[in-house]
Amino acid sequence: MEAKTLFDKVWDAHVVKKVEGGPSVLYIDRHLIHEVTSPVAFLGLKNRGLKVARPGQTTATPDHNVPTTNQHLSIVDELSRNQVDKLKTNCDEHGITFHGLGTEGHGVVHIIGPEQGLTQPGMTIVCGDSHTSTHGAFGAVAFGIGTSEVEMAFASQCIMQPKPKRMRITVDGELKPGVMAKDIVLYIISKISTSGGTGHFIEFTGSAIQSLSMEGRMTVCNMSIESGARGGLIAPDETTFEYVKGRKYAPKGEDWDKALAYWKTLKTDDNALFDTEYTFDAADIEPMITYGTNPGMGIKISENIPTSDGLKGNDKKSFQKSLEYMGFKEGEPILGKPVDYVFLGSCTNGRIEDFRTFAKYIKGKKKADNVVAWLVPGSAAVEKQIREEGLVEIMEEAGFELRQPGCSACLAMNPDKVPAGKYSVSTTNRNFEGRQGPKARTLLSSPLVAAACAVSGVVSMP
Amino acid sequence: MPIDKFIKLESAAVPLPIENVDTDQIIPARFLKAVERKGFGDNLFRDWRYLEGDEPNPEFVMNNPEYSGSILVAGKNFGSGSSREHAAWAIYDAGFSVVVSSFFADIFKGNALNNGLLPVQVTPEYLEEVFETIEKDNKAKFTVDLENQTFTNNTTGSSFEFEINPYKKTCLLNGYDDIDYLVNMKDEIEAFEQNR
Ligand code: SF4
């Protein structure tokens, strides 16, 4: 038998048909939807006189637009309220499970999938959101799709996709203390750039990856898309099975045994070929931060901002434009730069482990007076656990408050916007111009670095 | 939504020589709150195109009457970032039917093709040449011929053969979309489900 990669195994098992000279018709196990990218797809379906083909394989949650305070009240912004309401009516009409605000299943779409056991090894999972790659942490083929494809998934439970190329990124060795999954992925993107992964699906492997918890693995796969890749995945192992077991939608009893036997086959064969390979040494990775306006512009916190020496033409112009936007100078240290806002949350770092890390660091310390901090759990379940573990008391004692779940300042569609010109150290995934509010300046980091910055009020080492 | 056919186009081009134009620049998240596909073109490149107080920014190319046409020419790595199809809608609704760059982000490329917006990927050198031609003459015309997969610089006569997936090409030439195709596969999909 031909040696196959993990990605090939999962992908090939879902191809209904390969169109001659074209894409594959790919069967979708799970379709996750939210309020922003689904309404036009529902409308398209209606115009064709169609219904959602497999409502039982579709799950909805409103996350992008929702406020993170007073969620029991009606949403103030009319357009946001309308989108959230529309999602609910569409779900009711088509018989789709909807996790509304204030319910125990609510949260950011990529956080609730794994939490509820909807995300399982070997599945194909899509969502009208690029960070669907998060679910790859379970050994699933999961990727973001556009609204036309959301409509395809509704209409047929399939989408048409050309098969991406395969990339393997190996990170071997032991991580230094204070280095989190977020640092690994920021480091990787700083090396391969925001277009390095284009056209590929990445398998992350190596001892440093295997040593990560499911939370950490999700952070890595979440940001695989920022390298331009279609998605990322990690072979399932005992850590994965342990996490999935017992969750609401996880297989039970005999089904579990059967599923487990299959999941154990989900690994890359020894001789399988990859189109592109990279290897990194975990010992080279340190706490990271970004200084520019794309996620590839990351450095070790201890380093100086690079200079444009050696860059030419448009590359040079783009680099300079980026630094100008950020208000930074070439070659200067990033340590000690002022911080106005700190955001802990999002589908990148809004899970329980992230809040534990943050709380552990700030315990017994005080929030800097110049910093506005938004601590936003990724889901209602995360929020509940934060409360149960007594982390809220630690936060409050240090001068922080916990908000309610949602995407929040990750893309600032809700009221949590960073004002123009202000610096925000954020545990999210994108530092694009205006991402956290018009003219806002974002520095991406791990929850640990964010905690250090929140306490010191400047960019600092944890 | 069924797409418009695309066969051949001759037009002037609008230059945007910026690299890594991400989807948050193409259409910022705060304009994604509509529940219908309407009005996205007005907010294309919103934060570059308008100054505070919604005044058009005279420095931005789309506000310069010297430039027109339905071809957008942009720097490398165009459309990176989110999966929002609103980015493709905004470009299309603003009157563009072709985007030329030396590199496109994957999801953007797929979204564009699903909406009748043709992404033409050329080499960095060819892209430079196109920018130069427009710089010399902002009315310079270009011809995009999908049938023959060529992008031609009418001024210099130099032609570039671009790639496109044959299936997607057929869809564009005929105005077909994938949903019709998939809905017609109902039986095959059911059979697949039975046999897993
Ligand atoms: S948290 Fe941010 S990246 Fe994740 S789904 Fe929400 S907006 Fe997208």
CA–CA distance from A345 to each of A236, B95, B159 (Å)?
Answer: 25, 38, 49
Q: How far is the C-alpha of A61 from the C-alpha of A83, rounded, in Å?
A: 11
Nearest-neighbour CA in chain B from A152: distance (Å): 5
Find tokens 């357009």 and name the residue.
Answer: A79
Interface test with B, best of A93, A148, A225, A429 (most B CBs within 10 A): A148
- Cα of A26 from ligand 1 centre, angstroms: 25
Q: How far is the C-alpha of A308 from the C-alpha of A68, rounded, in Å?
A: 40
Q: How far is the C-alpha of A60 from the C-alpha of A34, rounded, in Å?
A: 6
Amino acid residing at A117:
G
CA–CA distance from A147 to each of A127, A171, A415, B79, B145 (Å)?
Answer: 9, 35, 25, 15, 27
Q: How far is the C-alpha of A359 from the C-alpha of A398, rounded, in Å?
A: 9
- Cα of A110 from ligand 1 centre, angstroms: 8
Answer yes or no: are the C-beta atoms of A44 and A149 closer than 8 Å.
Answer: no
Alpha helical stretches, state H, A300-425: 313-326, 346-349, 352-362, 380-388, 391-397
**Cβ separation of A39 and B36 shorter than 8 Å?**
yes
Task: Pick the closest to residue A330 from A309, A310, A315 (CA basis).
Answer: A309
- Cα of A136 from ligand 1 centre, angstroms: 16
Residue A276 exposed, middle or buried by CB count within 10 Å (0-12, 13-18, 19+): middle
Q: How far is the C-alpha of A108 from the C-alpha of A218, rounded, in Å?
A: 13
Give chain B positions within 8 Å (CB) of A82. Answer: 33, 35
Within an 8 Å CB–CB cutoff, is residue B33 touching chain A? Answer: yes
Note the pLDDT tens digit of each residue in B117-172: 999 999 999 999 999 999 999 999 999 999 999 999 999 999 999 999 999 999 99
A13, A130, A199 ranked by CB distance to B82: nearest: A130
Task: Pick the closest to residue A434 from B105, B27, B20 (CA basis).
Answer: B27
- Cα of A346 from ligand 1 centre, angstroms: 6
* Model confidence band, residue B38 (pLDDT cutoffs 50, 70, 90): confident
**Residue having the nearest C-alpha atom to atom 4 of ligand 1:** A347
**Cβ separation of A146 and B83 shorter than 8 Å?**
yes
Answer yes or no: are the C-beta atoms of B151 and B143 closer than 8 Å.
Answer: yes
Nearest-neighbour CA in chain A from B151: distance (Å): 22
Nearest-neighbour CA in chain B from A366: distance (Å): 33
Within an 8 Å CB–CB cutoff, is residue B169 touching chain A? Answer: no
Answer yes or no: are the C-beta atoms of A420 and A438 closer than 8 Å.
Answer: yes
**Cβ separation of A148 and B177 shorter than 8 Å?**
yes
> What pTM did the predictor assign?
0.94
Closest-CA residue of A relative to B186 is A156
Q: How far is the C-alpha of A137 from the C-alpha of A440, rounded, in Å?
A: 31
Alpha helical stretches, state H, A95-162: 109-115, 147-156
Closest-CA residue of A relative to B103 is A195
Residue A290's H or E segment, with its range, is strand A288-290
Atom of ligand 1 nearest to the CA of A429: 3
Tally of CB atoms within 10 A around A383: 23
Nearest-neighbour CA in chain A from B4: distance (Å): 14
- pLDDT, residue A2, reads 86
Phi, psi (rounded to 5 degrees) for A222: -50, -45
- pLDDT, residue B82, reads 85
**Cβ separation of A438 and B189 shorter than 8 Å?**
no
Closest-CA residue of A relative to B191 is A16
Answer yes or no: are the C-beta atoms of B84 and A37 closer than 8 Å.
Answer: yes
Closest-CA residue of B relative to A43 is B36
* Model confidence band, residue B196 (pLDDT cutoffs 50, 70, 90): confident
- pLDDT, residue B74, reads 97
The SS3 assignment for A43 reads helix
**Cβ separation of B18 and A80 shorter than 8 Å?**
no
Q: How far is the C-alpha of A241 from the C-alpha of A84, rounded, in Å?
A: 34
How is residue A252 written in tokens?
A: 């039970």
pLDDT of B71 strictly over 70: yes
Nearest-neighbour CA in chain A from B20: distance (Å): 8
C-alpha dihedral sign at B61, B62, B63, B69: positive
Closest-CA residue of A relative to B81 is A226
DSSP class of A415: S
Which regions in chain A score pLDDT beneath 70? Answer: none
- Cα of B115 from ligand 1 centre, angstroms: 24
The SS3 assignment for A295 reads coil
- pLDDT, residue A20, reads 83
Residue A25 exposed, middle or buried by CB count within 10 Å (0-12, 13-18, 19+): buried
Note the pLDDT tens digit of each residue in A131-180: 999 999 999 999 999 999 999 999 999 999 999 999 999 999 999 999 99
**Cβ separation of B83 and A128 shorter than 8 Å?**
yes
Q: How far is the C-alpha of B118 from the C-alpha of B100, rounded, in Å?
A: 8
Question: Cα dihedral angle (A216, A35, B38, B30), rounded to 10 degrees?
Answer: -60
Which residues 37-66 of B are in CB contact (within 8 Å) with A? 37, 47
- Give the CA count within 13 Å in the CB-facing half-sphere of B105: 34
**Cβ separation of B36 and A43 shorter than 8 Å?**
yes
Within an 8 Å CB–CB cutoff, is residue B133 touching chain A? Answer: no
Average of per-residue pLDDT across B79-88: 91
* Model confidence band, residue B1 (pLDDT cutoffs 50, 70, 90): low
Q: How far is the C-alpha of B148 from the C-alpha of A242, rounded, in Å?
A: 55
C-alpha dihedral sign at A425, A430, A431, A433: negative
Atom of ligand 1 nearest to the CA of B82: 8
**Cβ separation of A37 and B25 shorter than 8 Å?**
no
**Cβ separation of B179 and A411 shorter than 8 Å?**
no
Q: What angle do CA B28, B54, B105 make, to 5 degrees?
A: 25
- pLDDT, residue A395, reads 98
Task: Pick the closest to residue A379 from A62, A10, A153 (CA basis).
Answer: A62
Within an 8 Å CB–CB cutoff, is residue B166 touching chain A? Answer: yes
Task: Pick the closest to residue A7 from A187, A192, A221, A216 (CA basis).
Answer: A221
Give helix A352-362 / helix A214-222 axis angle, nearest 10°.
100
C-alpha dihedral sign at B108, B113, B114, B116: positive
Residue A426's H or E segment, with its range, is strand A423-426
Note the pLDDT tens digit of each residue in A19-64: 987 899 999 999 999 999 999 999 999 999 999 999 999 999 999 9
pLDDT of B178 strictly over 70: yes
A188: left (phi over 0), alpha (psi -120 to 50) or beta: alpha
B33, B106, B177 ranked by CB distance to A198: nearest: B106
- Cα of A410 from ligand 1 centre, angstroms: 6
B84, B167, B179 ranked by CB distance to A22: nearest: B167
**Cβ separation of A25 and B182 shorter than 8 Å?**
yes
CA–CA distance from A370 to each of A104, A342, A456 (Å)?
Answer: 34, 11, 9
Which residues are CB-contacts of A248 (< 8 A; sequence separation ≥ 6)?
Answer: A116, A117
DSSP-derived secondary structure for chain B: -PPPP--EEEEEEEEE--SS-BHHHHS-GGG---SSS-SGGGGTTHHHHB-GGG-B-TTSGGG-TT---SEEEE-SSBTBS---THHHHHHHHTT--EEEES-B-HHHHHHHHTTT-EEEE--HHHHHHHHHHHHH-TT-EEEEETTTTEEEETTT--EEE----HHHHHHHHHT--HHHHHHTTHHHHHHHHHT-
**Residue having the nearest C-alpha atom to atom 2 of ligand 1:** A410
Within an 8 Å CB–CB cutoff, is residue B24 touching chain A? Answer: yes
**Cβ separation of B84 and A146 shorter than 8 Å?**
yes
Q: How far is the C-alpha of B110 from the C-alpha of B88, rounded, in Å?
A: 9
Name every protein residue with a CB atom under 6 angstroms from any ligand 1 atom. A 63-64, 108-110, 129, 131, 346-347, 407, 410-411, 428-429
